């Protein structure tokens, strides 16, 4: 496994778990929807890092579902929110990542979406992570 994936494996898995959750909720989701949501999030974090206001983007309902889940996960990894444990006994907070680290993770996953889409069609990436995420 390359160095980047090793260093950020937990973050990449968290983001992909959010994507799989959206896919399992809506089997009509496509890799295009995932790529669109990840691209919008990357652009928003980049604008924020530059002190700019992100552009308003309209997404279809499926891309919006992915966006909402992944944004929640990214904000949690940035230390901006807490997530409750499954038993409801309080919040969990990992060591915060920087916006640059989150953007790099989003970029890496977008690269994976492109690769698996070319290899497996319009749901190639989604089917691959659904089979391999282990949840």
DSSP letters, 7-31, are HTHHHHHHHHHHHHHHHHH-TT--H
pTM more than 0.85: yes
Q: What is the pLDDT of residue 35?
A: 98
Q: Are 12 and 105 in contact (CB under 8 A)?
A: yes
The predicted-structure confidence for 42-83, as pLDDT tens digits, reads as follows: 999 999 999 999 888 999 999 999 999 999 999 999 999 887
pLDDT, mean over the chain = 92
Domain count, the chain: 1
Banded pLDDT at 109 (limits 50, 70, 90): very high
Q: What is the pLDDT of residue 83?
A: 76
The predicted-structure confidence for 115-133, as pLDDT tens digits, reads as follows: 999 999 999 999 999 998 8
Of the candidates 93, 81, 83, 73, which has an alpha carbon nearest to the alpha carbon of residue 17?
73
Domain that holds residue 50: 3-132
């Amino acid at each position: 496994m390359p160095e980047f994936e090793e260093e950020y494996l937990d973050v990449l898995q968290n983001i992909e778990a959010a994507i799989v959750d959206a896919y399992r909720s809506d089997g009509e989701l496509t890799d295009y929807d995932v790529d669109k949501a990840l691209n919008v999030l990357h652009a928003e974090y980049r604008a924020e890092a530059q002190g700019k206001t992100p552009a308003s983007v309209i997404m279809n309902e499926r891309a919006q579902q992915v966006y909402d889940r992944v944004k929640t996960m990214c904000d949690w990894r940035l230390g901006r929110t807490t997530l409750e444990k499954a038993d409801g006994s309080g919040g969990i907070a990992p060591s915060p990542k920087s916006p640059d680290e989150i953007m790099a993770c989003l970029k890496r996953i977008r690269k994976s979406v492109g690769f698996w889409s070319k290899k497996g069609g319009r749901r190639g990436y989604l089917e691959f992570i659904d089979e391999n995420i282990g949840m």
